[in-house]
Structure 1
Amino acid sequence: MQPNGDLRPVTRSQTNPDRGKPRNTVARANPNGKKKLKATRIENSAVFSSGRSNSDHAQSTKLSSGSNHSAGENTAPPLLPEGPDDSDDPLNALRSKRRELALQADDALHDNCRIHVRTDSYSCMEIKDILESLNCDMMQLAALISDKLKFKHAHVKTLDGLAELYDAAKNVQAILGRRVTELLIRRITKDMQSIVVQAVIQSVLAKTCQRLIQCWSISYEEHKFFVTSYKKFRKTSSFETTAQWRAATRGIVKYGPQSDATRDFALGELINNLLDVLRIAGWKNSAPKENIQRMFGVRIRELIELTIKVDRAIMEGALSQDLHLFMPGHDDIYDPSTMVDINQGPNAVVSDGKVAVCVNIGLKLGEKPKDEGDNKDLEASASRPKVLLKANVVLDATLVI
């Protein structure tokens, strides 16, 4: 029925006046050549009372914003679908992941630099105090051994015993010199023997601990390699760079996985050198090594820990200072600027006295070169040391040699 009262039926063109016009929809071509319209969500499918038919063009659509439109509005979907959010884009996610990994790598690089570029852990005075503790422990252990053990004149009845005595004498001679070694073998008074034995034991302990500190590895071949490399490195690099390399290398080679082996090696060296002194001094025992470990093993291990502490403090903990351990050798002329005669005191003046044995470890502070890599300055720095701790010595006159 027409709105004006006409009884003629309503035609399709009258119900949809936009028929024949192009629709505002997105079409896609299918393999059959036909166009397939994009489906829309129907919000209201009711037929209005005006008699209009249910047509696809009278449906209301819901936009991506979520607002509802009436069925009479001509609201088509957008020509292009909205793109995904940046968070859903796999390329953006990949870029974010790469940025995150790059930041992590940068942080790791800075952390690595902070680990390897070390600073001083000990001052010179702290290292001096630790070294004095080591020297004091060596003196106490030497006094304890000389008081507790009994020594008689070495009398050998077999060739094997003579061979052992000969090997022990050769080792002690290499450490302390010929005259002190012969003095241990001679028949001397009991009082003099006590003085000589204690001085020699203390000197052997000090020499062994100094050698343990100065070695780079328990392997002699590795030690020679690192000593040579360190000397070359010092000639071509600054003191600070060389000290950093030294600290890192020794921390890995000597006190890394080899830490237990280093302690065992130190224990063996101290006990073997001590036994050589005791043999030629006249101490006899059926199981010397086992008994020495039983009687003095705890004190010797404490000595080893103090030695390691001094080693790591100087070689790894004092990187801005050029510290050196020193012990005057036998037959050196007495120098009051670096030595102390333990029998006459630090103020004694001896003109031409010779050193019989050195009984503790001294400490020097060398001057760093002003121009990095200058060999002349490196040589000059060794000639201008500052003595932080003097070495205690026993002179020939004291032992009546």
Structure 2
Amino acid sequence: MASSLLTKQFLGAPFSSLGSGQQPSKLCSPNLRFPTHRSQPKRLEIQAAGNTFGNYFRVTTFGESHGGGVGCIIDGCPPRLPLSESDMQVELDRRRPGQSRITTPRKETDTCKISSGTADGLTTGSPIKVEVPNTDQRGNDYSEMSLAYRPSHADATYDFKYGVRSVQGGGRSSARETIGRVAAGAVAKKILKLYSGTEILAYVSQVHNVVFPEDLVDNQTVTLEQIESNIVRCPNPEYAEKMIAAIDYVRVRGDSVGGVVTCIVRNVPRGLGTPVFDKLEAELAKACMSLPATKGFEFGSGFAGTFMTGSEHNDEFFMDEHDQIRTKTNRSGGIQGGISNGEIINMRIAFKPTSTIARKQHTVSRDKHETELIARGRHDPCVVPRAVPMVEAMVALVLVDQLMTQYAQCMLFPVNPALQEPLQSSTTESAQVPL
């Protein structure tokens, strides 16, 4: 039995069975080797993965920070959804660089183009390809970083794993990869809005040591206009100014700070998510923590709930004026047992300080010599203002995928009666086909 286990493939590379008295050698990096009956040990292969997200509503992003461009392919979008570049451009404009003095000065319009999957302004049900060209690359800014690793950046770990990396801008580890996520998130948001009136809003609730108190915002009424009224995307003008000042302080010193993005979801259908391993909050955590620079995720009461007793923390039920079961409080964050209960979903995502800074740091070169590095290039002194639409996008992708899972992909948008008869005549009084 033991020998049969040893013949299993590891990381996609087969190797011969070991003799009865042989033991695998210690795994080493970067090239893993096992002794076999052959004279030459076989090199194991590392399989690249991780570019696709979702089950029914699937998104694959592509492109590098300083390559020809970036974008995404969206597969699983229902047909007959009204969609144009302008739907995506609104979200991409919120994410793009060069918005203000507290973001990277890189000048990109991030103009998107839909090159497949739509006809006459409607989705066709086939894969949607979205492309955004890179127009303001400065690859020479990264010449020093081709020789030395940036502290706390993905430079070293990409090299350790693959033995090759895109030096200019970090390649796939760059936040520019999130353009594809935001474009796909715009489609997901539109589906959620049409089907259930679901609204996703994120805002900055902390920059460095400036913390926006939760009791100063009403998650029932806060609006996109309030959030977008200032360059830091905090819905409170007083705290917004404090946050901007905190970013300005480190910006002029070539340093960086981190912060927290709070995200809420209103009008969430009940029943999304499943128990055990695929809990809705677990899916949201994975999605949000896949964003660059994320370091923490809190849901509902989060860590603050550890200071409460059960009687203080429990969300008691009551019947509202519409004869619906509701909770008096929402410390569960809109999810109980891994399943949405219809209350507002709320979560907080922590982002670290930007790792690429214009200050001298100690590091090690690729040839294993200790050295010093002063990084060049254009980078955000604080990523959280631009992370707001990224968080919204990832939350939207999770929820639309869960919605399709819940209803077995049975999503059909109304057909234009001038073109043909609707598939179901019973939908004449509704803006959507019943699920």
Q: What is the TM-score when the length of structure 1 is the normalising length?
A: 0.22
Larger-gyration structure (1/2): 1
| Higher-strand-fraction structure | 2
| Higher-helix-fraction structure | 1
**Higher relative contact order, structure no. (Cα contacts within 8 Å, ≥ 6 residues apart):** 2
